[in-house]
Amino acid sequence: MSTTISTPASTSYVGRFAPSPTGPLHAGSLVAALASYLDARAHHGEWLVRIEDIDEGRSVAGADMAILALLESLGMVSDREVVWQSRRKSLYEAAAQQLGQHAYPCGCNRREILDSRLGVAPDGAAIYPGTCRHGLAPGRTMRSLRLRVPEGGADDVTFTDRFMGTLTQHLALDSGDFVLKRADGYWAYQLAVVVDDADQGVTDIVRGADLIDSTARQIYLQTLLGAPTPRYLHVPVVRNAAGEKLSKQTGALAVLPGDEPAAIAALLDAARFLGLPLERPGTLASFWRAAIPAWSAMLAEREGRQR
């Protein structure tokens, strides 16, 4: 299969911010939240928040509510009721059923996959050598559920990212058959995110570039599930002085509800990181009044340069 995605005509806009509640919001996730919010507002669209707590082992109790409270104190409130992935497992189950023969049980453990030395996908997962593709060997039991990807040569997925331009990724080479349901029983992020974006009618995904390598897998799943492919915009990832991606362990945002100067400072940092030339505003309302048109102007300028 060779998949080339063209940008759908814009009639309506549904965007989303989909944090994993593994800790408090940090400056890096604020950049993704802000970009998705500004893009939705600039398109007069809807902006949704979805709590991606599907990996219940990594979720931290209370982090979901802390993230929602922080977003609210910055002026970002979901236009629809917030959904939690941990409460939507029947949707993921139904999607896995729908995938039929594209999905298969895998009995390999992590060590066996690493030992095949095919290398590591850009997101850090070991590339699967296809051991169980044609059935479980006698005596092996299912550990995970995998998605069969097309063979090399027919495994390319091309899409246009509104920030990064046209990209081609290779499913067989870059990830191999990837996990839909994990050995610990949790549904994998790749499946859950595709099912939820389709179920919520998301037309535009704006998120951090650390997820760009997942995009081909998600587009492939969309085509198998008969779901439309949204437009994508990946914003640069915030790194600390040592060049490391800001993770949720480092640098939680210190903005208390009602602390307008701290809210403005955090938003202004994120906006400037995104390249918006904003003066320091006096109020949160004036931040938003300036930031939305500044985002539109920045995108128009980038798109002009790309042409």
**Least separation, in Å, of the C-beta of 30 and ligand GLU?**
12
The answer to whether 106 and 144 have CB atoms below 8 angstroms apart is yes
Residues 9-28 touching ligand GLU, rule: CB under 6 A, are 18-20
The candidate with the shortest Cα–Cα distance to 237, out of 215, 210, 274, is: 210
Residues 251-290 touching ligand GLU, rule: CB under 6 A, are none
**Least separation, in Å, of the C-beta of 298 and ligand GLU?**
21
Long-range contacts at 71-74 (CB < 8 A, ≥ 24 apart): 71/17, 71/25, 71/33, 72/257, 73/255, 73/256, 73/257, 73/258, 73/259, 73/263, 74/30, 74/255, 74/263, 74/266, 74/267, 74/284
- How many residues belong to the site for ligand GLU (CB under 6 A)? 7
Sole binder of ligand GLU in the list 41, 148, 181, 207 (CB under 6 A) = 207
User: Which is nearer to ligand GLU, 41 or 248 (by Cβ)?
Assistant: 248
Residue 61: partners with Cβ closer than 8 Å, 6 or more residues away:
none
User: How many Cβ atoms from other residues are within 10 Å of residue 259's Cβ?
Assistant: 13
Residue 41 contacts ligand GLU per CB under 6 A: no
User: Which is nearer to ligand GLU, 26 or 140 (by Cβ)?
Assistant: 26
Residue 211 contacts ligand GLU per CB under 6 A: yes
Residue 121 contacts ligand GLU per CB under 6 A: no
Site string for ligand GLU, 183-202 (x = CB under 6 A): ----------x---------
d(CA 170, CA 192): 21
Residue 150 structure tokens? 């097309």
**Least separation, in Å, of the C-beta of 59 and ligand GLU?**
11
Sole binder of ligand GLU in the list 46, 52, 53, 156 (CB under 6 A) = 52
Contact set with ligand GLU (CB under 6 A): 18-20, 52, 193, 207, 211
